[in-house]
Structures are given as C-alpha cells and as structure tokens.
Amino acid sequence: MGGSCGKCKKKLFSGKVVTLKAGNAQRHFEQSDIPVVVDCWAAWCGPCKSFAPTFEQVTKQLEPKARFAKLDTDSEQRLAARFNIRSIPTLIIMKKGKEVARQAGVMSSQQFKAWLKPYLGH
C-alpha cells in the first residue's frame, strides 16, 4: 500500500487516518505531493460520528491517491479557525498547501468518492 520513506524506510501509507494537530498540519499540507482530505469533526457531533466509518472505509480504498486526515475542531480550535470552519462535519481537500474544495455535511461512501474523484487525478 504505497511506498516507503527514503530516509527511515517506514511505510508512507497504512490505510489509517492521520490526526491533524497544530504541530503537524502545515507539514502535511505543504509537503504532500498528493491531495490531503481533511474531515473536520467533534466528539459531540452525531453526524460526525455517523460519517466516521465512511471516512475510514474510503481511506482504505483510496490511499495512496490521497492522504486522509481528521481535525478535531474542539481540541484544535486555532487550526479550525484558520480554516474558517463554521459547521461540522466539513470536508476540505488541500493540494500543495491550498484549499481546492470544501463540502459540509454527511455523505454516503459513493457520494464521498464521487466528490473526491476530480481531485485525485486518476
């Protein structure tokens, strides 16, 4: 599933969602040659909880075409504010450090993959 790091030889993709924090977000956004798909969520949000399994399933299906990450808007309020998150769940696609798409609300697996398709390049 994807390649390995040239320096440390660790696998680059594991089929698991990355947790975004203030300390690692910029690196993921700016140093990635592939799109980064971000699920902005909170633990108290029912729709966010219902979408989580879909997000994880699509991560396993579509990596390494994109990196999939989750942003807890409660624990990372400054980062969420930087992206002007007004409602959750909100999905954001970042390419080379810039936001290229945004979608609020829950989607089915099929809807989610269809929304992603134009940004994944393959």
- Torsion angle, CA of 109/62/29/39, rounded to 10 degrees? 20
- 48 given a catalytic annotation: yes
Nearest-10 crossing angle of helices 46-62, 109-120: 50
Catalytic residue among 5, 8, 40, 45: 45
- 40 given a catalytic annotation: no
Catalytic residue among 5, 8, 40, 48: 48
Q: Which residues are catalytic?
A: 45, 48
